[in-house]
Structures are given as C-alpha cells and as structure tokens.
Amino acid sequence: MQHVPLKWLTRLRLALGLYSLYFVAGYGLTTIFELPDIQSALALNVYLAILASVHLLYELSIGLLMFKRSPWTSAAISLAAVSLIAFIAIEMTGNYSSPYWIMLFTLIFLSGMLGSYIAPGFVFILTIGLVFSVTGFFTGDFELIHGLTVVGLGILISVINHFVWRRYYETPEKKDSQLAAMLKNKQLQSETLVRSISDGVIVTDTDGKITLMNPAAATLSAWPIEEATGLDLHSVLSLTQENDAPLEVDLFKQVMANKKPASSYVTLTDRQGSRKYIVSLVISPVLAPKTEELLGVVAVLRDVSRQRREEQQRAEFISTASHEMRTPVAAIEGYLALAMNEKISKIDSKARSHLEKAYASTKHLGKLFQDLLTSAKAEDGRLVSHPVVVEMGSYLEKLVDTLKFGAEKKGLLTDFVIGGTEESGSQVGGKVVRPLYYASVDPDRLREAITNLFDNAVKYTEKGKVSIGLTGDQQVIQIFIQDTGSGIPAEDVPHLFQKFYRVDNSATRTVGGTGLGLFICRKIIELYGGRIWVESTVGKGSTFYINLPRLDTQQAQRLQASQTDNSTQT
C-alpha cells in the first residue's frame, strides 16, 4: 500500500504521541492540583491514563523498532490505539455532545497518510455512528439528527482528506519513493552484481539527488557511499571537458528533458581535487515500466585515462615520425625523378623499369606518411582549416576540369551534373540561370576530400564513367561522386570510414592504398558540420554523398563582407 513519505509518517507518530501524552499529563496534573470536576468533564481518569501510557511505551520501544522495518504498519497500530482512546473518551463525556469528536475527526483526517483516502473515514464514522445509534436506541436518547450529523461530518472530512493528501503523492517525492522501491527490489536480486561492476554506477532521482552509488563510483569521486547518498549529483561529481573547460551542456538535465541516453568523454576531479580522471560518461533515463514516467537517471563512468594517454602518445609518435620521414622520402623521390630524366642521365630500358617501380613505391610511401600526419592532426583537432564562402557550382566545375584527365587516361568518361530537389535553372532573358549553392568551407580541404573520393572511384572502376553531381535544398548542399565500378559489399559499408579499414577483395588487392583516405574525408567534412556516407551495390557501382550546410545569398554576402573586413584589418 502506498503512503506519504516517511517524514510525514514520523509526524503522524509524533501527533499520536502528543494525544496520549495529553491524557497522561492531564490526569497527573488534575490529580496533583485536586481538580475532580475537570477530570470528570474531560474523562481524565486513571483508565484512559493507563491506556495512553501503554501507547507511549509502545511508541518508545516496540513501535520504534517496528517503524524502522515497517513504518506503515507501525503508524497504523498507533493510529488504531489512539482512536480507541478517543472512542472511550467520547463515551465517557456525553456521546454526541462530547468535545472529543474534534479529536476523532482529526484522527480521521490524519488517517489519509496511510494511503486509503476515503475508506478510513467511512470505517470510523459508520462504525461509531452505528454504535452510538444502537446505544441511544436502548437508552432512549437516540436522535436521528445526531447520527446523520456524525456520519455527514465524517464523509466531509474524508473528502477533504482525499484532496489534501493526494497532492503529496503527486509531488516528486512520489517518484522518489517509486524509484527507491524499485531500486530496493533490484538490490535484493542483484546487489552482488552491482557491487562487482568495475565501472562507476550512480543512480539519481528526478531532483538530481543520488539514490544509489557503487564502490567503483565512490573510488573515482573519493566520496563515501553513505555521505554521497542523498546529496545533489553535481556536488559529488566535479565534471569538466577534457581540456578542463566548463561543460557546454549539462548531460544529466539533457537526458531528463529528452528521456534519451547521452554520452561523452569528460574530466572527473575527485573530492580533494588531487586526482583527475578522463572518464567515458554514459547517462540513461530510468523510466516506469508501463507509463514511461521518468523516475531518475543512471550514469555509468568508466576510467579511460590510461587509454586516452596511450592514444595521445601514439598520435604524437605518428605525427612526429611522419613529419620527420617525409623529408628523406621527398629527397629520394626527387633524385629518382632526376635519374629518369633523359636530359640528365642515360640509362637502358631495364634500369628505367626498375627506377620507375622505385619511384612509384616512393610516391606511395610519401602519400602514406602524409596521410598518417593528416589523420593524427584530425584526431587531435589540429587540422588546419580556413573556411570562406564558396559557390559550390563554379567550384566543382573547375575541380572536375582538373580531375577528369586522370579518368580519361584510364578510358573512363567524366561528367558534372547540377540538379536535384530544386530546379536545375530558371529562364531569364532566354538564358538558363543555375541556382547558387553557397557554403562556408576551406576550398583546399574540401578539394582534398573530393579528390580522394574521385581517385578512389577511378581506381575501382574498369569501364564506364565517374560522375560528380551537385544538388540541394534550402538547408543542405549535397555533392555526390558516382562510379560504375565493382561496388562495396554490404557488410563492409558500416566500417568504410574507419581508420586503416580496407575492403578485402580481389579489386582492392591489386590497388594500393593506406586505408586512411576515407577516414580523413570524414574528418574534413565534419569540420564544416557536414555528413558523408555511401550507398553501393556489388557489381553496379557506388555513390558517395557529402551533405554540407547551405548559406542563402544574404548570409553568404554578409559572411563575405565580414571576411573581407577581417583580411583588411589584418
């Protein structure tokens, strides 16, 4: 049975104790000061004093122990005991005219704390009304109006009882109690499992108060579980970005608002401020099974400090090694080019064949070092980018004119298509005017990404054509690179933009590559808030799509003016 929060049950026991103390103290004082008239009028006699004393002793002994184990049962017993005392006091002080009806009606009102809103009033009032009606019938002083008055007042108080106490079940404390009850049941079943989890686990209610915390979370935060339980989460977990800057978004509030999981890498500083951890923070909402009502959130914290340090060390090593090795490789490439120059040296055809193979391998090695350096910078956020306003139609048209020669050497056709969800052009004075697609990008970086996709299309296409297209709507610019090559198996598509991932088939074994090109493309496109993906059918070809945020003409003009002003001031 549901009832009000424990703090209200504690107040109920205190009120019941005061009622019993009234009879004990009243009898004692009227006896000491010899006030028999008051004793008789208020039923302050030895019998009620004994009953009240028994109730007080129960509250201070058995009732106190029972309240810790079963607070509702303990409060119900106390209410029944004091109601009995009130019933006897009413009988001793004139029945329907007794002043203790006020006490009994108060007890009826307080009974709403036990969870049954209207039932207690009906049970008490109908029983008492019946008893007094029967008693009055036999003694000859029964009056219908008295019985109806008692029952009517009892119903009225029960209705008031219902509306007063119901609101306490609708406050966050109700959700807290539901969450606490659910957690208690889970703990009974899986306490050992939760305690043995190596990741930190923290559960909070809808107010952000911690209701459960496992030892791993206590170790990370340096807060004892007993002290942290009940405190606000933000006073226990000191979270910042990895660079120690304040968090831009409160993930806990975000999860509570959206009822959807969220995750991030953050820095956790312990209670003393002496240790910092890089943690993977995953927050999920706790929802009621049927109603989907939010009861709280559960956060899982995994210490990834060591992994992040190792990743940083690897990135620094790759960056340094790639930078240092590019210089001698470039020198070797230059000398090989000189050796193959007929104006500088004379070599036979066999030696030229060997030098050409060495030159191709050296170029491949140089490309590998360049890709390693670029990927390391992309992961560390050190990838240099200088975005400006670019009209993508004319930009791609010029780029295709440069790229098509590589495709033509292989006998492939190349075309450039503008069109899509908008009209491809409009008639003005008998001429077709193309729509203008503006975007804020670094043209050099974007050229690097598109060139990589185009070169891949040429590599893996034996016959047919490679198309570059431009479409868009009011919000998005879409670029696509389409080929008629061998296609990509469906199981490889989800991994295609991962670092060092290459499709393993007969086509890729004969074509060299570093496995970094598509990873770098993804990082470049993400610099500008874009998205890249692929759709492919084995045997029919692949289409790589790039979506970029589109600027309207007014936005582009304002941004161009701002960039011009900045360059002038510089």
Residue 553's contacts (CB-CB under 8 Å, 6 or more residues apart) are 436, 438
Please spell the DSSP secondary structure of 143-168, one letter per residue. Answer: -HHHHHHHHHHHHHHHHHHHHHHHHH
Nearest to 441 by CA among 512, 364, 386: 386
DSSP state, residue 1 = -
C-alpha pair distances (Å), 270 with each of 218, 239, 246, 280:
10, 9, 16, 15
426-428 and 431-433 strand pairing = antiparallel
Q: What are the tens digits of pLDDT across the range 536-551?
A: 998 899 999 999 999 9
Output the CA torsion sign for 62, 64, 68, 71. Answer: positive
71-75, 136-140, 277-281, 380-384, range with greatest mean pLDDT:
277-281
CA distance 240 to 258: 22
User: Residues 312, 494, 516, CA angle at the centre, nearest 5°?
Assistant: 45
More confident residue, 289 or 154: 289
Banded pLDDT at 355 (limits 50, 70, 90): confident
pLDDT, residue 325, reads: 77
Quick check: 550 and 420 in contact, CB under 8 A? no
Over 90: is that where the pLDDT of 392 sits?
yes
Which residues lie across from 418 on neighbouring strands?
470
Q: The tokens of 437 are what?
A: 């697609």
Instruction: Specify the DSSP element, H or E, that contains 391.
Output: strand 388-391
Quick check: 213 and 202 in contact, CB under 8 A? yes
Of 120-124, 159-163, 320-324, 334-338, the poorest mean pLDDT is in 120-124
Tell me what the pLDDT averaged over the chain comes to: 80
pLDDT, residue 133, reads: 53
Over 60: is that where the pLDDT of 378 sits?
yes
| Mean pLDDT score, 509-537 | 83
Over 50: is that where the pLDDT of 526 sits?
yes
Q: What are the tens digits of pLDDT across the range 168-206?
A: 654 444 555 555 555 555 555 566 667 778 899 999 998
pLDDT, residue 566, reads: 62
Nearest to 525 by CA among 534, 533, 514, 516: 533
**Predicted structure pTM score:** 0.47
Quick check: 4 and 109 in contact, CB under 8 A? no
Banded pLDDT at 72 (limits 50, 70, 90): confident
With H, G, I as helix, E, B as strand and everything else as coil, classify residue 112: helix
Which residues lie across from 216 on neighbouring strands?
none
Over 80: is that where the pLDDT of 503 sits?
no
Q: What are the tens digits of pLDDT across the range 440-470?
A: 999 998 999 999 999 999 988 989 999 999 9
Q: Is 33 exposed, middle or buried (0-12, 13-18, 19+ CB in 10 A)?
A: exposed
CA distance 142 to 435: 97
Over 50: is that where the pLDDT of 427 sits?
no
Over 80: is that where the pLDDT of 120 sits?
no
Banded pLDDT at 421 (limits 50, 70, 90): very low
| Mean pLDDT score, 323-339 | 82
Nearest to 186 by CA among 174, 172, 203: 203
Name the CA dihedral angle for 188, 193, 196, 201, rounded to a multiple of 10 degrees: -80
- Residue found by looking up tokens 């941004």 in the block: 559
C-alpha pair distances (Å), 320 with each of 250, 307, 367:
37, 20, 16
